[in-house]
Structure 1
Amino acid sequence: MRSHALLATVFHLTLAVAQLNPQTDTWNSTYKLTTAQINAANISSLTASLVDLAADFEQTNWATGSVLQDPFYTDIPSPASGFPPGSLLKTQQFVNTSTYTLAPTLALSRILFVTESLNGTYVPASAYILWPRLPLAHGPQGNIPLVGWGHGTSGFLPECAPSHIRNLWYQFSGPYTLALSGYAVVAPDYAGLGVNRNANGKVVVSQPFAFPSAANDIINAVKAAQAAFSNLSKDFVVVGHSLGGGAAWGVAQKMASSPVPGYLGTVAGSPVTNLTLQIQVQGPESEIGFIEAARGFVSAYSNRIQLSDILTPQGIRLLNLLEEVQGCNSVIDNLLAGLAAEGDPAKLLITNDTFFSSDLYTEWIDTTSNGGKAIGGPLLVLQGTSDTTVPEVVTTTAVNQTCEIYSDSSLEYLRFQDVEHVPVMYASQRIWLQWIADRFAHKPVNKGCQQQTYGQSSAPRPLQDYQGNLNYFLEYANQVYQTA
C-alpha cells in the first residue's frame, strides 16, 4: 500500500524505472492489453507489459471480485437521490473475511449510503466498517467508540474502492491499528469508488482532491453507520492520511460552519492541502497526476469546461486506457514509469499549461484547499520532514496560514524528523492513539496553535538506524509453514 498524494512522478518515477527488472508475476489474474489498446494509447510494448503486470497485481488483490459485477455495489435502492446525505441505503452485516487479509480477530461489515458531491449532487457511496473483538466502551450505554477513516489515494475509478481490496488499502497504517485498539472504524470508499452508478444508471464520477466532497463522504458514512448499528457511539473522531488527511482536515473546516453533533476532533496525517503550492514545490512534473482529477473536475463544472481544456490529446488517450483497464495506483505508477523509460518527453505532456493559470482552476483551488480557513474542534496534524509525496513545507504553510488568521484554533502540529509519507503514521502512532482516547474521554483541549518536532533527542537509536518506508505487502498464506 502506498498513497501517492497528487503525485508521485515525483510518483517515484526514478525508483520505478530503476526497478524495471523481472518481478514476481504469478498472480491469479491474466490481464493483457490488446494491440488496439496499445496503439490507441500510443505506448510501447515495454509500457504495455508494465501495465499488464500491475493490473494482474491489482486484480489479484480484489477480495470480492470486480465491483462492477458485485450486487452489493451495483444494486442501488431507488430513489437513492431522494434521500438526504447520511441516509443509510443498504447494510451487509457479515462479510466473509477469508477473502481478505485482515488482522486476526477483526470483523467486517459494509454499507451503502447517500453523500453529497462538490456541486451539491446527492449520490450513493459505499463504506466498510471494521469491528474490534474487544471494543472500548464509551458513554453511559457503553457503546463502541466510532472513528471515521479517510484513506489515501488508491486511484480514481470504481475498482479502486478499499472496501473490496484484500487489505482494505491501508492495513496496519491506520484502520487495523484503530480496530485492534478497540475502536469501530467506518471508512468510505469516496463517491465514485465502489459504487459507480446511481439507481437510475447515471455514472457517479469520483472527484479526487476536492476535499469538501471527500469530507462529506466521511461525515455521511459516520451518520449511516450510526443508523445501521445502534451499538456505535454518537460521538466520533475523524482520522485520515494523505488524500484522506486532506479529507479529514476538510471535515474540521466543515465543522466550523456546519457542526455535526458528536464530533470530537480530527487527526490529519501527511495531509494534502493545496495543490497549487504542491506543484510549485515539486515542479511542473507533478502536474501529470492531474490525470486522476480531470474527469472529476469536469463533473463538478460540466457546463464551464471540457476534458480537452485540462488534458492534452496524449493525456486523454492515457485516461481512456486507465478507464478501460480500471487501473488504480499500481497501474498508474507503472504506466508513468514506462513512459519515462521510453524517453519521449512528449508522452509525459499530459496536462495543458493554460489550465493551471485559468480562473476556473483558481476558483477550484480556493473552494477545495485546506489551510487558512476556520476549523471546528481540535485538529492534530502529523508530518514527516522527509516526505517526498506531501512536502513538509506545504503542510507547514497550511498550518501557519490557519494559525495566523484563526489564532484561537485548537491546532497541534507535530513534525517527525527523517520520516517519510506513510511511515509518519507509525512514528506517531502512540501519540495519535492517546489523542483519540483523550477526545473520547472529553479531556479539555487548549486554545491556540502548538508546534513540536520529534528529532534525534526523542529516539534511543540514531535516526538512520530505523526502517524507512514500507517494504512489504500482505498476501495469502497457502501453506501451514508460512504462518508457523
Structure 2
Amino acid sequence: MATIVVAQAAADLSLSSLNASTTCNEACKELVLRVSSWEKSQMASDFSFYEVPTSFSDAMKPGTILSLERTTNLTNYTVPTPLTMSRMMYTTEDLNGTIIPASAYILWPSIPLEVPDSDSSNATQWPLVAWAHGTSGGLAPCAPSNYRNLQYHFQVPYLLALQGYVVVAPDYAGLGVGKLSNGDNIDHPWAVAPAQANDVANAIVAARKANPEYLRPDGPFVAMGHSQGAGAVWSFTERLVDKPIPGFKGAVAFAPPTDIVNQTRKAIEDHEANNTQLWTNTFLSLQPSLANGITAAYPEFNLSGLTEAGRDRWVNVQEAVQGCLPTKGVSGIGVPLAQLAYRNWTEQPTVLDFEKRTAVGRKPFRGPLLIAAGDKDSVVDFKNLEVNVRETCGMLQGAGVQESLEFLEYTGQNHFPVIQASQGKWLGWIRDHIFSTANVSHGCKFGTVQGFQREDAINFVFPNFLVEVAEAGEGWKYSL
C-alpha cells in the first residue's frame, strides 16, 4: 500500500511539474508520464529505508554502518526464492574525500560456496563478488536496491548468488539516499568513476563489518561491473594501488567507458561531420546526464553546458518526474540531439578539470583485470576502449610493472548482450581466481571471440527480456 501511495503522490506532482516545460508538448508529456509511472511500478517499497539517521556525521570513517536491514522483505521483488537479501546504509567518500551516506544491497546465496582457508586445514570462507551496476539514472529514486529486479536480475546478481557467491552491490552515492537528515541534497555524480570506486570499496568494508560471522575482513572477493559500473571497477583497481583491500582476487569489467568527456567531444564532432558511428547518438543524448554529473561534483557548474532546451528537458522533465533510465530514453524526444548542449561546452575549464580527474585507464592498477566488450557496442566506443587498453599495457611495460590484464573482443555483440555472451568465460574466471586455481600470467593478453550466427541474432543494446513480478492473486503467472 505504501508503494501505491508514494507512486500516486509522485504522479500528481509530476503532472504539475511538467507544465513548466517550454519544449515538451502534450504528446511528449503523455509519454514521459507513462514511462515514469511504469518505473515507479517497478519499485519494491517506499523510500523510508533511505532516510539518513541523525547519528550520521561527516567525521565518521568510510565504511561505517549507519543502518542495516538484515532481512529484506522480498514479497515485491523478483529475487529467486532460494535467495535472501539485506540492505544497508553506510558511509563512503565523494570525489573530494567528503564523507557521505550511501546504500547497498547484499544478496545471500542459499548454499554458499566454501573456499578453503589457507590458515586452517578445516575452516572455510564465503566468497564475495562486489557488483557495480551500469547507469540506472541520475536521481535519488534510481537505486537498484529498490528495483523489484535489482536492475540486472539474472544477467548478473541472481546468477552469481545462485552459484553460491555473496553479492555486495552499492547503489552509488545519490541513488537511493538522496538527502541528509538536515535536508541537504546528495546528488549523484554520474560518470565520476573514482567516486563510484569509493562506493564499491566502502560497501565491501561495510558488508564485512555488518556480517563478520560470514564475511571475514580478509575473505576472498572479486569486483565486477558493467558500463558505468565497469568504469567504476577499473577505477577501483587503480584505487587499490594506494588503498589495498585484503582478499582481492581480481576484477571483471564489461564495456567500460573510460573517458566519457572525450567520447562526448568525439560524438559532437562526428555528428557535425555527418560521420555518425554506432555510439554517437547515444552519447549526444547523454549530455544532460553528463552535465548533471559534473554539477554534482562541481556545484558551481550548474548545468552550464546545456542549452535552454537541454536544461528544460533535464530540470522541467527528467527531474520533474524524478525519472530514471527508461524516462531518460524518452525525455529528450523532439529536441534535436545537437541542440541539447552548446557546441564547445566540453572545453570549459570545469569540464576539462572534471575530465582529468575522472578518466579511467593509462594508470597503474592492481590486477588481474579481465575486460570484455562487443565490437557492435552502441553505447561505448569500442575502438577508443581498445586504444586505452593498449596504451595502459604500454604504460605498464614501460614502467616495468608486473600486472595481468586480459582484453576480449566479442564480435557482433552490443552493450548489454556482451554480458551473457561472455558468461561462460567470466563464471569460470571468477571461480578460478576465488579458489586461487587460476594460472595468472603477468602482462597483457588480447583475444577475439567470434559469435555464432550473429547475422541472424537480434542486435539490441538491451538484453531483449524483462523480469517482472506477478501482482497479488496472479501467482499463476509464474507457472509459464
Fold-level similarity (TM above 0.5): yes
1:417: which partner in 2? 411
2:225: which partner in 1? 240
Shift of 1:281: 4.8
AA aligned to 1:306 is F
How many equivalent residue pairs?
Answer: 441
CA deviation vs aligned residue, 1:205-263 (integer Å, no higher than 9, x gap)? 11011000000000000100000112024221100001011111110111122222222
CA deviation vs aligned residue, 1:250-303 (integer Å, no higher than 9, x gap)? 10111122222222211000111111342255445524413123233223233x
1:306: which partner in 2? 301
1:318: which partner in 2? 313
Counterpart among 245, 251, 257 of residue 266 in structure 1: 251
AA aligned to 1:291 is P
2:469: which partner in 1? 476
1:46: which partner in 2? 27
1:135: which partner in 2? 112
- Secondary structure of 2:135's counterpart equals coil
CA deviation vs aligned residue, 1:377-426 (integer Å, no higher than 9, x gap)? 21000001111111211221221110111124310001111011111110
2:376 paired with 1:376: no
1:6: which partner in 2? none
2:169: which partner in 1? 187
Contact 1:417 1:453 in 2 (8 A): yes
Contact 1:80 1:124 in 2 (8 A): no
* Percent of aligned positions that are identical: 34
TM-score, L = length of structure 2: 0.87
Distance (whole Å) between structure 2 residues aligned to residue 184 and residue 308 of structure 1: 39
1:463: which partner in 2? 454
- Secondary structure of 2:319's counterpart equals helix
Unmatched 5+ residue regions in structure 2? 1-6, 118-122, 272-280
2:242: which partner in 1? 257
Distance (whole Å) between structure 1 residues aligned to residue 338 and residue 244 of structure 2: 43
2:76 paired with 1:121: no
Distance (whole Å) between structure 1 residues aligned to residue 22 and residue 296 of structure 2: 23
Q: 1:165 to 1:254 in 2, by over 3 A?
A: same
AA aligned to 1:373 is K
Q: How does 1:40-79 map to 2 (within 5 A)?
A: 40-65=21-46, 67=47, 70=48, 72-79=49-56
- Secondary structure of 2:33's counterpart equals helix
Distance (whole Å) between structure 2 residues aligned to residue 262 and residue 235 of structure 1: 4
2:62: which partner in 1? 85
Counterpart among 30, 34, 42 of residue 15 in structure 2: 34
Contact 2:372 2:422 in 1 (8 A): yes
AA aligned to 2:466 is F
1:11: which partner in 2? none
Distance (whole Å) between structure 1 residues aligned to residue 256 and residue 22 of structure 2: 33
AA aligned to 2:288 is I
Shift of 1:308: 4.9
Contact 2:17 2:321 in 1 (8 A): no
Q: How does 1:438-449 map to 2 (within 5 A)?
A: 438-442=432-436, 443-449=438-444
Root-mean-square deviation (CA), in Å? 2.0
Distance (whole Å) between structure 2 residues aligned to residue 438 and residue 268 of structure 1: 17
AA aligned to 1:334 is V
Shift of 1:153: 0.2
Shift of 1:77: 4.5
Counterpart among 206, 226, 232 of residue 224 in structure 1: 206
CA deviation vs aligned residue, 1:10-31 (integer Å, no higher than 9, x gap)? xxxxxxxxxxxxxxxxxx8693
Distance (whole Å) between structure 2 residues aligned to residue 107 and residue 360 of structure 1: 44
Q: How does 1:266-305 map to 2 (within 5 A)?
A: 266-282=251-267, 283=270, 285=281, 286-302=283-299, 305=300
1:335: which partner in 2? 331
2:449 paired with 1:454: yes
Shift of 1:162: 0.4
- Secondary structure of 1:325's counterpart equals coil
Counterpart among 428, 432, 455 of residue 422 in structure 2: 428
Shift of 1:468: 4.2
Q: 1:409 to 1:261 in 2, by over 3 A?
A: same
Q: How does 1:182-221 map to 2 (within 5 A)?
A: 182-221=164-203
Shift of 1:199: 3.6
2:278: which partner in 1? none
TM-score, L = length of structure 1: 0.86
Contact 2:264 2:287 in 1 (8 A): no
Greater CA deviation, 434-443 or 216-225? 434-443
Contact 2:17 2:320 in 1 (8 A): no
Distance (whole Å) between structure 1 residues aligned to residue 322 and residue 261 of structure 2: 27
Greater CA deviation, 194-203 or 262-271? 194-203
Distance (whole Å) between structure 2 residues aligned to residue 380 and residue 367 of structure 1: 23
Contact 1:156 1:293 in 2 (8 A): no
- Secondary structure of 1:101's counterpart equals coil
Distance (whole Å) between structure 1 residues aligned to residue 141 and residue 375 of structure 2: 32
Distance (whole Å) between structure 2 residues aligned to residue 465 and residue 107 of structure 1: 38
Q: 1:136 to 1:308 in 2, by over 3 A?
A: closer
AA aligned to 2:61 is P
- Secondary structure of 1:82's counterpart equals coil
1:3: which partner in 2? none
Distance (whole Å) between structure 2 residues aligned to residue 363 and residue 307 of structure 1: 15
Contact 1:255 1:377 in 2 (8 A): no
2:153: which partner in 1? 171
Distance (whole Å) between structure 1 residues aligned to residue 301 and residue 257 of structure 2: 25
Contact 1:415 1:454 in 2 (8 A): yes
Shift of 1:367: 1.2
2:342 paired with 1:352: yes
Contact 1:288 1:351 in 2 (8 A): no
Contact 2:291 2:303 in 1 (8 A): no
Contact 2:190 2:292 in 1 (8 A): no
Greater CA deviation, 121-130 or 99-108? 99-108
